Amino acid sequence: MTIRCIAIDDEPLALRQMADFIRKTPFLELVAECNSAFEAMEVLESGDTDLMFVDINMPGLSGLEFIKSLNSKRPEVIFTTAYSEFAIEGFKVEALDYLLKPIGYSDFLKAANKAYTYFQTRSQADNSRRTEDEFLFVKSEYRLVRIRLEDIRYIEGMREYVRIHTTTSKPVMTLMSMKALEDKLPRKGFMRVHRSYIVNLNCITTIERGRIVFDKDVYIPVGEQYKGDFQKFVDGHFL
């Protein structure tokens, strides 16, 4: 499991340290470094963020005000600040954890592991609820198209659209982020292997030179940050 993160802090040195900590942690992926809440808002529009490390004390719009302004589908939050009195306020907005500056890597890793456990538990619960969901409805060209999960071969991200390639019909285009669709799919059968690709693991028949081959002219690359999880899948089915 890879957790996609944003680091937000108006202090350059603190921001650089947080970004370095994220890069250093194997199960975290740094999506963006933002020096203000307003900059982070633009990043969030892509919908490709799971967790934010947010400094509480920022000019213009504080970290607390920023989190309160987001809707219920916001990414999870770990607050950072030099002032311990903000801890209670942080937990009032259901932050996963709270880091007091100056932050050492051991404290950061403890909070990151707590986030990992949270996401793992949530993923297992989501998969349990989805065992009966064998199809999805997606909006395409003003119609709702029903697609059986077992018919999906792979999904291709194309900026704000995704293209769903199936075994039964031509590809279906729909306005949706890769993150939103990834959250709808059961983790047991589908895996994100690249920033622009999600594959149906049951449809993989050939892997060649680190790429997944679906047709003679369709080669799907495995991104660097996804190689670990994909290799675990391969190793688990290797004779």
Each residue of 44-58: b (16+ CB within 10 Å) or e?
A: beebbbbbbbbbbbb
Q: Which two tokens stand for residue 228?
A: 């670990």
Domain boundary residue among 64, 98, 129?
Answer: 129
Band (64; pLDDT cuts 50, 70, 90): confident
With beta carbons less than 8 A apart as the criterion, state whether 38 and 60 touch.
yes
Q: Give the tens place of pLDDT for each residue, 189-201.
A: 899 999 999 999 9
- Measured CA to CA, the distance from residue 231 to residue 84 in angstroms comes to 42
Percent of the chain residues past pLDDT 70, beyond the cut: 90
Band (39; pLDDT cuts 50, 70, 90): very high
Domain boundary residue among 129, 154, 184?
Answer: 129
Q: Give the tens place of pLDDT for each residue, 202-215.
A: 989 899 888 999 87
Residue 43 has pLDDT above 70, yes or no: yes
Domain membership of residue 50 as a residue range: 3-129
Give the mean pLDDT of 113-119. Answer: 92
What CATH number has the domain bearing residue 221?
A: 2.40.50.1020
Q: Do 88 and 114 lie in a common domain?
A: yes
pTM exceeding 0.75: no
Residue 55 has pLDDT above 70, yes or no: yes
Q: Do 91 and 15 lie in a common domain?
A: yes
User: Residue 156's pLDDT is what?
Assistant: 94
Q: Do 67 and 172 lie in a common domain?
A: no
